[in-house]
Structures are given as structure tokens and as C-alpha cells.
């Protein structure tokens, strides 16, 4: 071992090391210079240790005064107790300090484009700047903690799957483009000019084929790529825990995966998840929450008031009902003071919000001084008002919000409004808003339970999880004027609905399920079709004639006839899980090197133009 190499990490030294000569390697977080000594906070991913350089050795002391932020040092010295009254209770190494005998600058560092320190009132630099210098951003403590959490999540997953008898297997990245689903990232073939590989949107077909090959319990932490527009919780490349099992029915998959979810919450945050998870049909989810990924940390469910609206004199409601639409509403309890009439009227904040979702408008009433108020109040006779009050459990101070439209629009608009108001009115708590002081007992407890120490107060009510079941098999795509698969074309229909496949495709339910956590879809899967004739029938429904299906998925259709066992599976969004466990709402925070919203890597600049020679080899010509 070279003499500069560390004997300990910067998070390791305790009173048990007193008197020992040790060497630390790390980065200078900050220095504090005095006439007779220099204090250096030396930091690595394990923690922070105070180094003291005294003025006894003049050359050493002079050098210490030249140290700057983010210098990389090797410090050899003696561990000593801090002088009485100068201990720090807030960091694990706070009882001791390192009295430097030798300091080596392994690398100097000029002033950086932004600060790596993270003091409580310090705002982080703009995200695009941080992405440009991602290697510096990743040096920040909070991001290091998140990426260490991500490692733990992967470890917990691997342990759980292994314990349950699953094999971790890899599948190709270079595959074949499939017409259904997301836009593919394509890779031109040099050997076969004019032909392209596609990067996988998911390992879907490969894992089904592994089932057919007899590897009855498979999993993979699989990278998936989809060339679609990004969101706060979507990256073009992301990681899924991909799972597939043979000889199972839906409940086997659900039971297995909720056990994993409980493990993750327990081991990462110390929270106990009550099992089994609640289950909700897709139909109920849409009716009550207007969403297939309801956030059930709070109530404020959608209420159908079609019957009451029908008895009113309000023409807008009556016309919509007569045209086969619905009238549904929310009761925002105690929000009357929060929303002015101009927020509510056409063009106001809330009204504008719902028009985003194609709703024609937002009707409203308030309950003030025991009376319903608002511009539509006059269309409701007293008896009808009484019914409305009863139905929506109206009390003083409530705001009633209504959307009258065709059912899908009403669901979308009210569902989005419900989650918008949930956060606006603070109807649920985020655990990261309840940050606690560092607690030495928490460190001990965490060590005993073999989990990461958690500086937050996390309670079970911060995590609400459920399954959404019984999705429809198909949705009619108005643009393409054909049926498309809601999950994917390999999802099995419910046994009792198979007969309706051709006669009434809209009514066919799929053996599909989504795992929902705090309003995020954190997993989704299905029991697959394992019979060739059913698969061919579904392809046909999707407007794919047999010849087409043969050309595109012939290998699958053949495989299904070669002893395919009943099978099914699921995929969990690893990045979204990490995001929720880390207490952030931005998926980029849990990915070491993410892309920006336009899918550009601001650090490397990718994507970038390539040499004409490379294009020529690939047989690719650019359009002028």
C-alpha cells in the first residue's frame, strides 16, 4: 500500500481510534483558517472528518493555508479527542478530529462553477448547469445519499428475488422493432445496410420466451428505452425490475410483488406496509378517483351527481346528461376561503386547469353561512339543493366543483383536478417535509436493522399503495381508427370475456394489473396469452392480419405452439421507486447521468453528429 493511501474513510473515526495514526483520503469541503491552526472538513461518500493542521510545522502550516475547496487530499495524522465542549453531536465523527502530521495534495481544484456544499438556506444551482457538470453535482451529499439508496434498493430486490427462487438473466439490447407501443430507438446495421435493430422498450418477448424454455422464475434489472417525450417522472432510458413466472395466476404475482414492496419500504425507510394491499378495479378507480393511478393518501373522492343534476334547472347539466354524458363533482372541504370567485369563474385558475383536459368548463358552488352560493345556485330548487348537500356531505366553507361532459373527459378533468387540489390544499403530507434532527439512536437502530440511517420521521401514512385490476383489454384509437392494446398485445383476456373478443372488444377485460404508490404507477404487468390461437385472434383485433403477425411475431406464435406454459409477470419502475423512497419528485435526481427534458445529455452533449464515414458504412444518408 502506497503511503498516501487511506487506512480509514472520512466517516469512520470514533473515540475507539484515539491515539492511532491513520491516513484519510478525501475532498476538502471547506476550510477555516486561524493564525495558529487551520481546520479542514475532509469529506468522502462515507462522511466528514475534521482535520486540524497546527502551526508547529511551519512548512505544513503554510501549505495548509493554500488549500481550497474540493482539493483532493491525503492526510496522515493522529486521532485525538476534540477539546472539551467543542464536540459535535450532529455528525458521527463529531467526538474526534485528526491532528495532521502530513498533508499531500493529490489534486488541486480551481473555483467551481457552483457550490458542492449544501447548507440549509443554500439554493442548489440551476439544474441545467448541474447537469452540465454532473460529476460535480454527484459529489453533493444529498445526491450521494440517493445513489447509495439506489444501490440498496437493487440489493434488496436481488436478495428478495433470489430468496424466492428467481434466476437473474440477461436479454439482448439489440432487438427487433415492434409496431405496437412506444417509439423505438433504432440502431442501423452495418452488415445489413437498410436494416435496423431496435433498442428494447422492455424485454417483454424475451422473458416470455424464457418461460417457454422452462426458466419458470426469471428476473432482471433491465434497461428499457422509449423514444417518447419526457416528464418529471420519465426518462428515455430507465430501469425496470422485470419479472416473469410460469404456472401462475394473477394473485401469485401480486402476492410476490407486494412482499417485495413491503421489504423495500421496511429496509429503506423503516416503514411497515400493511399487507395484503387494497385492490381496486379499473372501473372503480376511474369512477372514484378519475385516474388509473389514484393517490389514496387523501379522500376527496369524485361523486356522481347525475341524478341530482337531472332534477335541477341548469341547462348545461341537463343537456350533457341528455347527450349521454355525466355530471360529477368534488367537494373541496374548507376551501372556500382559498379560492376566490375569480379563481373559479371561466378563465380563472381552476377553470383553466380543467380545460387543459378538454373539459368545456368548471361549474362551482360554495357553502357559506349555511347556504349554497354561486352563479348556478339559482338553478337548483331547495329540495334539489338538499339532495346535493346530502350526497356531497356539504358543510360550511366547502367548495363544490363540477364537470359535466362525456364520461372520459369528466374522469380525466376531475381526476387531474383532484390530485392538483390534493397538493394545493395540502391534503397529504410528504415525509421529507418532516425532517428530524440527526439522531444518534437512529444510527444505531439503522445499523442493527441493517438499513440506511434515516434523518426523517417517516410514518406509514406517508405511503399509500394499492393494486388497480381488471383493466380493459382495448381502447379505440380515434386517430388510427382501430383498437389498440391498453397494456400490450400479449396480455391475456379474462376467461369469461374471451367470447366477446370479436363481438364487443371494448367490454373485454384483461388480466392486467398496476401497482400504484402515492399516485405514481410504480409497476404493471399481466398474465400473458399462452395459446397461439388466442394470440392470433388478438393480433387480428389490433388490425394485424395473420400474414402481418407472422412476419412480425412469427417466432412468438411458433413458440406458443411449442409447449408454452401459462405464465405472467410484472415490471416495477426502479427509478420511480427510488424517487419515491428518496423523497424527490424528479426522476433525474435518482439517475447518475440523466438526460434533460429534450433527451439531451448536457454533460457529453449527446446526441451529436457523426463522421460522414460512419454514416456511409451504415448505409445511412441524411436528408438535406
Partner RNA sequence: GGGGGCGUAGCUCAAUUGGUUAGAGUACCGGACUGUCGAUCCGGUGGUUGCGGGUUCGAGUCCCGUCGCCCUCGCCA
**Interface with RNA (CB under 7 A):** 30, 32-37, 39, 41, 50, 52, 68-69, 82-83, 86-88, 97, 111, 113-115, 117, 119-129, 131, 178, 180-183, 201-202, 204, 226, 228-234, 356-357, 412, 416, 479, 484-489, 586, 588, 596-598, 600, 602
Provide the pairing of β-strand 21-33 with 72-81.
antiparallel
Q: In sequence order, which residues have a C-beta less than 8 Å from that of residue 382 and are 6 or more positions away?
A: none
Q: Residue 113 or 612: which CB sits closer to RNA?
A: 113
Distance of alpha carbon 422 from the chain centroid: 18
Q: Residue 40 or 392: which CB sits closer to RNA?
A: 40
Q: Minimal distance in Å, beta carbon 131 to RNA? A: 7
Which positions make up the binding site for ATP? Answer: 226-228, 235, 521, 573-576
Which positions make up the binding site? Answer: 180, 226-228, 235, 487, 521, 528, 573-576
Provide the pairing of β-strand 96-107 with 167-168.
unpaired
Q: Minimal distance in Å, beta carbon 97 to RNA? A: 5
Q: In sequence order, which residues have a C-beta less than 8 Å from that of residue 614 and are 6 or more positions away?
A: none
Which positions make up the binding site for L-aspartate? Answer: 180, 226, 487, 528
Contact 428, 297 (CB under 8 A): yes
Distance from C-alpha of 137 to C-alpha of 585, rounded to nearest angstrom: 17
Distance from C-alpha of 73 to C-alpha of 106, rounded to nearest angstrom: 5
Which grid cell is 26?
Answer: 478525501
Q: In sequence order, which residues have a C-beta less than 8 Å from that of residue 343 and are 6 or more positions away?
A: 349, 350
Q: Minimal distance in Å, beta carbon 518 to RNA? A: 14
Q: Residue 450 or 598: which CB sits closer to RNA?
A: 598
Distance from C-alpha of 367 to C-alpha of 329, rounded to nearest angstrom: 14
Q: Residue 71 or 380: which CB sits closer to RNA?
A: 71
Q: How many CA atoms lie within 13 A of 93 on its CB side?
A: 22
Q: Minimal distance in Å, beta carbon 40 to RNA? A: 9
Segments of 227-346 assigned E as strands = 237-246, 279-281, 303-304, 326-332
Q: Residue 283 or 408: which CB sits closer to RNA?
A: 408
Contact 507, 285 (CB under 8 A): no
Which grid cell is 135?
Answer: 460529476
Q: Residue 183 or 451: which CB sits closer to RNA?
A: 183
Q: Minimal distance in Å, beta carbon 496 to RNA? A: 21
Q: Minimal distance in Å, beta carbon 507 to RNA? A: 17
Instruction: Identify the CA nearest to 127 among candidates 597, 583, 581, 574.
Output: 597
Q: Minimal distance in Å, beta carbon 227 to RNA? A: 9
Q: Residue 203 or 374: which CB sits closer to RNA?
A: 203
Amino acid at each position: 500500500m502506497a503511503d498516501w493511501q487511506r487506512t480509514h474513510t472520512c466517516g469512520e473515526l470514533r473515540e475507539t481510534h484515539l491515539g492511532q495514526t491513520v491516513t484519510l483520503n478525501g475532498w476538502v469541503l471547506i476550510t477555516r483558517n486561524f493564525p495558529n491552526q487551520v481546520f479542514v472538513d475532509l469529506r468522502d461518500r462515507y462522511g466528514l472528518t475534521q482535520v486540524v493542521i497546527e502551526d508547529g510545522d511551519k512548512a505544513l502550516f503554510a501549505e495548509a493555508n493554500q488549500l481550497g475547496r474540493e482539493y483532493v487530499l491525503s492526510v496522515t495524522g493522529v486521532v485525538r479527542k476534540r477539546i472539551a465542549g467543542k464536540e459535535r453531536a450532529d455528525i458521527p465523527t463529531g467526538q474526534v478530529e485528526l491532528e495532521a502530521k502530513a498533508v499531500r495534495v493529490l489534486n488541486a481544484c480551481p473555483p467551481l462553477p457552483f457550490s458542492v456544499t449544501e447548507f440549509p438556506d443554500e439554493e442548489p444551482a440551476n439544474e441545467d448547469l448541474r447537469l452540465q457538470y454532473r460529476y460535480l453535482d454527484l459529489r453533493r451529499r444529498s445526491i450521494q445519499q440517493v445513489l447509495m439508496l439506489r444501490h440498496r434498493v437493487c440489493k434488496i430486490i436481488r436478495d428478495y428475488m433470489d430468496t424466492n427462487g428467481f434466476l437473474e438473466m440477461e436479454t439482448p439490447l439489440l432487438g427487433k422493432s415492434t409496431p405496437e407501443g412506444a417509439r423505438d430507438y433504432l440502431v442501423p446495421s452495418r452488415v445489413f445496410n437498410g436494416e435496423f435493430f431496435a433498442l428494447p422498450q422492455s424485454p417483454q418477448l424475451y422473458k416470455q420466451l424464457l418461460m417457454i424454455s422452462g426458466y419458470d422464475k426469471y428476473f432482471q434489472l433491465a434497461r428499457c428505452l422509449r423514444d417518447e417525450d419526457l416528464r418529471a417522472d420519465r426518462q428515455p432510458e430507465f430501469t425496470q425490475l422485470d419479472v416473469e413466472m410460469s404456472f401462475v395466476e394473477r394473485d401469485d404475482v401480486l402476492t410476490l410483488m407486494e412482499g417485495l414492496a413491503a421489504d423495500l419500504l421496511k429496509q429503506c425507510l423503516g416503514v411497515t406496509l400493511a399487507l395484503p394491499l387494497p385492490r381496486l378495479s379499473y372501473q372503480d378507480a376511474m369512477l372514484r378517483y378519475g385516474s388509473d393511478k389514484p393517490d389514496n393518501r387523501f379522500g376527496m373522492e369524485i361523486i356522481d351527481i347525475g341524478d341530482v343534476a337531472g332534477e335541477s334547472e341548469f341547462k348545461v347539466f341537463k343537456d350533457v346528461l341528455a347527450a349521454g354524458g355525466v355530471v360529477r363533482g368534488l367537494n373541496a372541504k374548507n376551501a372556500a376561503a382559498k379560492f376566490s370567485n375569480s379563481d373559479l369563474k371561466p378563465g380563472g385558475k381552476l377553470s383553466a386547469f380543467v380545460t387543459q383536459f378538454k373539459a368545456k368548463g368548471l361549474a362551482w358552488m360554495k357553502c357559506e353561512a349555511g347556504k349554497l352560493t354561486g352563479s348556478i345556485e339559482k338553478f337548483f330548487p331547495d329540495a334539489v339543493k338538499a339532495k346535493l348537500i346530502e350526497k356531497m356531505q356539504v358543510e360550511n366553507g366547502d367548495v363544490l366543483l363540477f364537470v359535466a361532459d362525456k364520461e372520459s373527459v369528466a374522469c380525466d378533468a376531475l381526476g387531474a383536478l383532484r390530485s392538483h387540489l390534493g397538493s394545493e390544499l395540502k391534503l397529504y403530507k410528504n415525509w421529507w417535509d418532516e425532517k428530524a434532527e440527526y439522531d444518534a439512536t437512529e444510527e444505531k437502530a439503522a445499523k442493527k436493522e441493517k438499513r440506511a440511517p434515516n434523518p426523517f420521521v417517516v410514518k406509514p401514512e406517508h405511503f399509500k399503495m394499492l393494486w388497480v385490476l381488471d383493466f380493459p383489454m382495448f381502447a379505440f384509437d380515434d386517430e388510427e381508427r382501430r383498437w389498440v392494446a391498453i397494456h400490450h398485445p400479449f396480455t391475456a383476456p379474462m376467461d369469461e370475456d374471451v367470447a366477446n373478443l370479436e363481438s364487443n372488444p371494448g367490454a373485454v377485460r384483461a388480466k392486467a394489473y398496476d401497482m400504484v404508490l402515492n399516485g405514481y404507477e410504480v409497476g404493471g404487468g399481466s398474465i400473458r396469452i399462452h395459446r397461439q390461437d388466442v394470440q392470433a385472434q388478438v393480433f387480428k383485433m389490433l388490425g394485424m392480419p395473420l400474414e402481418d403477425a407472422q412476419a412480425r411475431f412469427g417466432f412468438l406464435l411458433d413458440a406458443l405452439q411449442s409447449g408454452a406454459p401459462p405464465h405472467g409477470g410484472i415490471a416495477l419502475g426502479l427509478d420511480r421507486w427510488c424517487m419515491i423512497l428518496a423523497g424527490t419528485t424528479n426522476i433525474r435526481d435518482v439517475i447518475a447521468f440523466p438526460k434533460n427534458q429534450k433527451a439531451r445529455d448536457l454533460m457529453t452533449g449527446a446526441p451529436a453528429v457523426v463522421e460522414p464515414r460512419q454514416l456511409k458504412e451504415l448505409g445511412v444518408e441524411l436528408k438535406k
